[in-house]
Structure 1
Amino acid sequence: MSDVTSDDYPQEALATSAAVAEYFGPRLDAVSRFAEMLHDQGELRGLIGPREVPRIWERHILNSAAVTQFLPTTGTIADIGSGAGLPGIVIAIMRPEAQVILIEPMERRCAWLEEVVAELGLTNVEIKRGRAEEFHDAFECDAVTSRAVAGLDKLVRMSMPLVKSGGQMVVLKGKNVAQEIDPARKVLRKLRGREPEILEASTVPGVEITTVVRIVRQTGGR
């Protein structure tokens, strides 16, 4: 399986594969239902592009799931710009003992998230409509995540004020994220962010490795 590429791995076969079943374990049914909802309504509701519909498992579900290995199992996790629920809904499914806050400014996307939460019976999710900056003085989290939201410098400004001392930003990024680190150093120093770690996160054989950036917020004064 190690030599299988995503192009050789049909999405239907991927969704029903033993590797995916083992990876998600008891969370598989909920994840599969979420994938079905995205497949049926994602393009229609402007949540994903038409080319992404056949690649939901590889491109969205497993890509989002990859970040969970770096997140706490309990505490509070916020997902900024949740949109379709990626990675926030996947995180909520895989971290049932954590409180997951989905932050999304668009009303129609919040409506979608509410439908998903109700359909999946997720009791550990809170949806907040607004931009991340609007909640900077409202609460702090053990971890803040995001996917395809902004460049790292802007993302640090949006995310780090929501991270408690000793907590962390854990964000999904592209392979070239190293180029974003230097432009972000000034705001990292200002907001007490430690040196970013670029991590590789794998899920199942044959699916592209996900790039994750982790930044711990230093302890101490505000």
Structure 2
Amino acid sequence: MSSPSQLHHQICQGAEILGFSLSEQQAERLTQYVALLAKWNKTYNLTAVRNPVEMVSRHILDSLSVIPHVKGDNILDVGSGPGLPGIPLAIMYPERQVTTLDSNGKKTRFMTQAKLELGLNNLSVVNARVEAYTPERLFDEITTRAFSSLLAMVQGTKHLLRQSGVYLAMKGLYPEEELTELTANTATELVESISLRIPGSEGERHIVILRNK
């Protein structure tokens, strides 16, 4: 079992490789989040990843890879699961409003507890199905991570994104077929696709940035 100091070091080192430095408070909160996720995971099965060291590379650093591309002040993370990438985003951007949305009660209860323990006043946790969710105001950006196909994601969330808003979809392999299907069936266009290397992870990763024409 890794110690908190080892996890802290792994998170800070990984962020440096991704191209940015963490403040002590950010690093501490991300470390606390991993410890909390590992603790709850024993009872509630929130993620298939059991080892906290693996959680850092596969969840925390993977989530942090989207940081350079986040521009909006009001962000929605759809299908957030235990809060990925929503909770790391809320930790990194205390001045921005982050909403995490998931229909699984166990996962939203965990996120609510994480919000309290980490003191994330800028985080809102919503337990609802995406099609039934009606926010007070539309979002600047919508993030998703292994949520669904791009077409299903856009069709399911288009009522939540403001006119000039963008999608930040986190994917594994470059989703060529999904993009073809999306552009053939919607007025959504590809802005950019960024290939990523996540420290400690072998798999291919991409961030796909989309917007409505």
TM-score (normalised: structure 2): 0.84
The 1:43/1:183 distance shift into structure 2, 3 A limit, reads farther
> Is the Cα–Cα contact under 8 Å of residues 67 and 212 in structure 1 kept in the other structure?
yes
1:16 is aligned to 9
Secondary structure of the residue aligned to 2:32 is helix
- Structure 2 unpaired stretches of 5+: none
> Is the Cα–Cα contact under 8 Å of residues 65 and 90 in structure 1 kept in the other structure?
yes
Structure 1, residues 103-138: CA drift from partner, whole Å, max 9, x if none? 111212111110000000000011111111112575
Measure the CA separation in 2 of the matches of 1:206 and 1:154: 30
Secondary structure of the residue aligned to 1:145 is strand
Measure the CA separation in 1 of the matches of 2:170 and 2:126: 21
2:120 is aligned to 122
Secondary structure of the residue aligned to 1:24 is coil
Misfit runs of 4+, over 6 Å: none
> Is the Cα–Cα contact under 8 Å of residues 145 and 171 in structure 2 kept in the other structure?
yes
> Is the Cα–Cα contact under 8 Å of residues 190 and 210 in structure 2 kept in the other structure?
yes
1:197 is aligned to 192
**% same residue:** 26
Structure 1, residues 82-114: CA drift from partner, whole Å, max 9, x if none? 111111101111111111111111212111110
Measure the CA separation in 2 of the matches of 1:177 and 1:14: 32
2:99 is aligned to 101
Structure 1, residues 169-201: CA drift from partner, whole Å, max 9, x if none? 001111131221111123432xxx223521124
The 1:76/1:21 distance shift into structure 2, 3 A limit, reads closer
2:130 is aligned to 132
Measure the CA separation in 2 of the matches of 1:159 and 1:147: 14
Measure the CA separation in 2 of the matches of 1:178 and 1:71: 23
2:184 is aligned to 186
Please tell me the residue identity of whatever aligns with 1:133. E
- Structure 1 unpaired stretches of 5+: 1-11
Alignment of 1:161-172 (within 5 A): 161-172=159-170
The 1:184/1:56 distance shift into structure 2, 3 A limit, reads same
Measure the CA separation in 1 of the matches of 2:15 and 2:150: 33
Q: How big is the shift at 1:31?
A: 0.7
TM-score (normalised: structure 1): 0.81
Structure 1, residues 53-84: CA drift from partner, whole Å, max 9, x if none? 54001000000111121112x52000001111
Structure 1, residues 11-70: CA drift from partner, whole Å, max 9, x if none? x85641452475323411111100111222224311111555540010000001111211
Q: How big is the shift at 1:161?
A: 2.6
Q: Whose RCO is larger (CA < 8 A, sep 6+)?
A: 1
Structure 1, residues 137-190: CA drift from partner, whole Å, max 9, x if none? 75310000011110111011123331111110001111131221111123432x
The 1:14/1:129 distance shift into structure 2, 3 A limit, reads closer
Secondary structure of the residue aligned to 2:57 is helix
Alignment of 1:1-222 (within 5 A): 15-17=8-10, 19-20=13-14, 22=16, 23-26=21-24, 27-50=26-49, 53-72=52-71, 75-135=73-133, 139-189=137-187, 193-202=188-197, 207=201, 210-218=205-213
The 1:124/1:54 distance shift into structure 2, 3 A limit, reads same
Secondary structure of the residue aligned to 2:62 is helix
